Amino acid sequence: MIDSHCHIAGDEFAGDLAEVVTRAQAAGLASAMVILASEDAAEVARMATVSAAWPAAVCATGIHPHSAGHFGADPAAAGPAVAAVIDSQPRCRAVGEIGLDYHYDLSPRETQREVFRQQIRLARDRHLPIVIHTREAEGDTFAILAEEAAHEVGGVFHCFTGDRPMARRALDAGFHISLSGIATFPRALELREVARLVPADRLLVETDSPFLSPVPLRGSRNEPARVVHVAEVVARERGVTVAELAATTTTNFERLFGSIG
Ligand SMILES: [Zn+2]
Ligand SMILES: [Zn+2]
């Protein structure tokens, strides 16, 4: 199994990263996609520690919509800023997470849109898939993906929380869908319907650690080992074994992001 999205190079894991990796490996994880905020030098630097502990881990880097405001005066600078981090990371496999977040609105929306566009262009230049974060911004997200021909590189809607029509839209556009611990929450009935409808070859699972710890571990710091709880719920919904789900999602991960070997 692979945790397709986590932030274990962040400060929350600085004190016990080796133990977190050991627990992930003990839980049967073959790899994880570590998200590096391109503007966070400490997080980017800590990827070396992650790689030393877990050589199979891979990474993605980008400017999160929450941080897009840093480039408000010059959105075109976002591309070179991310490119520099890509060049510093031999295990970089994607541009992300990038997108639009109109729920928190921590950056002006126009800036979010422009920084998102710049990073899709970079991903196309580098032939890298994208990791998409979108919240309460469905229309603009799909419009920009289409206008920037993002399907040419493909990618994943990470921590998918939309409804079935949005899932079909993402799938029709050629993207993968990654389910997080939210799928285990009691009220997430619609998301468990989504878990049933995603074709086997488009599905991924993730933790989004340190956020969104799954049932039965809600309320504490999340970590990659807990992706197993996400997989158990998704497998149950789909009527497959956890081992089957692990195999298909691992195949999907490697097809999208490259071999973990
Ligand atoms: Zn996100
Ligand atoms: Zn994330």
The rounded radius of gyration (Å) of the Cα atoms in the chain is 17
Residue 37 Cα to ligand 2 midpoint, Å, equals 9
Q: Phi, psi at residue 77, to the nearest 5°? A: -75, -15
d(C-alpha 27, C-alpha 22), whole Å: 9
* Ligand found nearest the CA of 133: 1
Q: Give the whole-angstrom CA distance, residue 40 versus residue 72.
A: 17
pTM of the model: 0.97
With cut-offs at 50, 70 and 90, classify the pLDDT of residue 157.
very high
Which phi and psi (to 5°) does residue 54 adopt? -145, 85
Q: Which ligand is nearest to the CA of 7?
A: 2
How many A from CA of 158 to the centre of ligand 1?
A: 6
In the predicted model, what is the mean pLDDT of residues 143-157? 98
Going from the Cα of 65 to the center of ligand 1, the distance in angstroms, rounded, reads 9
Q: Give pLDDT, residue 1.
A: 97
Residues 215-259 have pLDDT tens digits of 888 889 999 999 999 999 999 999 999 999 999 999 999 999 999
User: What is the CA angle 176-147-65, rounded to 5?
Assistant: 65
- Ligand 2: distance of its center to the CA of 9 in Å? 12
Task: Give 206 Cα–ligand 2 centroid separation in angstroms.
Answer: 9
Q: Which ligand is nearest to the Cα of residue 158, counting in written order? A: 1
* Cα-based torsion angle of the residue sequence 96, 100, 105, 111 in order, rounded to the nearest 10 degrees: 90
φ/ψ (deg, to 5) at 184 = -95, -10
* pLDDT of 83 over the 90 cut: yes
pLDDT digits (tens, 9 = 90+) for 1-25: 999 999 999 999 999 999 999 999 9
Give the pLDDT confidence score for residue 258 in this predicted structure: 97
